[in-house]
Amino acid sequence: MRIGYFSKNRILACTLVFVMAVLSVSCSAKKEDSRNKVEIYYLNSDETGIVSKEHELAADPNDTHAVVMELVEELKKSPSKSIYGAPISEDVLLLSDPQVIDGVIEFNFGSQYFALGRTTEILSRAAIVRTFTQVKGIDYVSFSVDGSPLTENFNPKGKPIGNMSADTFIYNVGSEINTYEKIELKLYFANENGDKLIPVYRSVVYNSNISIEKLAVEQIISGPNTSVVNPTISKDTKVNSVTIKDGTCYIDFDSAFLNPTNNVSAEVTLYSIVNTVVEFPDVNKVSISIDGNSSFKLLDFTITGAYEKNLDIVMQ
């Protein structure tokens, strides 16, 4: 039997609609699946680093409280005691269920928390922060002990540790805790108009195997954690390499560096990096390249050679 031209077109159209519907359902399912999965962080068996394990949520990802309570229970137990250690130790009591207020989740531990060794405490804190900042509606994690904010070195008169984000702990999973250090970085971000820089101070716990220059640049890329300032570089930017020779820091980015960021000028982008990196004692100048090309155009500005610190572009 011969099928007419219009019948063929109708069959083809129906087939396309069916295929598109199947693909749409498939994509939606994949997207839904990814929202239901988080990485839970645990201490490794030697308590020298942290390891992660994928976890599929039983709770609705949109129900923040239910997700929080599910993850708390997961962090109290070790999936495999020979490999994982529980970040919320059975020896340290949670005095109340963690509360989420304005994007901050607060954990209030009992006084047993002070009995944790330095290594265990830092690793447990890193694991908890990295786990919960994946939850929808949670940007920061805060620790208290008996209702008082946790302070550095457990010193009652010490500086409060304050809100911690995922970027507070920069590390390689599984690396040694003895290589961890804490540093306060002076980072330069853009003002509201994108034509001036504003310095921002950020404390970071990091793995000392990473150069502090690269650490600072990656912190700029990650963007500000306050609404007072604005990002200067696209978050898609990757750092290919960072080297220092004769007082000049050579930074090579991938091409995503050229992507415009809001209304930020090219000079502000350039000097957000230069002014940040020359804060370190071994650096006097900064030279930037894109995939090995040391002369390129960013917006209407040609970047070439090495640049010194520019305070004229900083808001006073």
Question: What is the per-residue pLDDT across 34-78, written as a single tens digit (0 to 9) for each?
Answer: 568 899 998 877 677 788 889 999 999 999 999 999 999 999 887
**pTM for this one?**
0.54
What is the gyration radius of the CA atoms in the chain, in angstroms? Answer: 24
Q: Which amino acid is at 286?
A: V
Residue 129 CA to residue 123 CA, distance in Å, equals: 10
**Which of 171, 189, 192, 167 shows the shortest CA–CA distance to 180?**
171
* Amino acid identity for residue 224 in this structure: P
Backbone angles phi, psi at 280, to 5 degrees: -85, 140
List the domain boundaries for the chain.
1-35, 37-170, 210-307
**What string of H, E and C letters represents the secondary structure of the chain?**
CCCCHHHHHHHHHHHHHHHHHHHHHHHHHHHHHHHCEEEEEEEECCCCCEEEEEEECCCCCCCHHHHHHHHHHHHCCCCCCCCEECCCCCCCCECCCCEEECCEEEEEECHHHHHCCHHHHHHHHHHHHHHHCCCCCCCEEEEEECCEECEHHHCCCCCECCCECHHHEECCCCCCHHHEEEEEEEEEEECCCCCCEEEEEEEEEEECCCCHHHHHHHHHHHCCCCCCCECCCCCCCCEEEEEEECCEEEEEECHHHHCCCCCCCHHHHHHHHHHHHCCCCCCCEEEEEECCECEEEECCEEEECEECCCCCCECC
Burial annotation 93-121 (CB, 10 A radius, 16+ → b, else e): eeeeebebeeeebbbbbeeebeebeebbb
Per-residue pLDDT of the chain (316 residues; tens, 9 = 90+): 444 443 444 444 444 444 444 444 444 444 445 568 899 998 877 677 788 889 999 999 999 999 999 999 999 887 766 567 888 877 788 999 999 999 999 999 999 898 887 778 888 888 999 999 999 999 999 999 999 999 877 877 778 888 988 877 765 555 444 456 778 899 999 999 999 999 999 988 777 667 889 999 999 999 998 889 999 999 999 999 998 999 999 999 999 999 988 899 999 999 999 999 999 998 999 999 999 999 999 998 999 999 999 999 999 8
Distance CA(144)–CA(146), nearest Å, equals 6
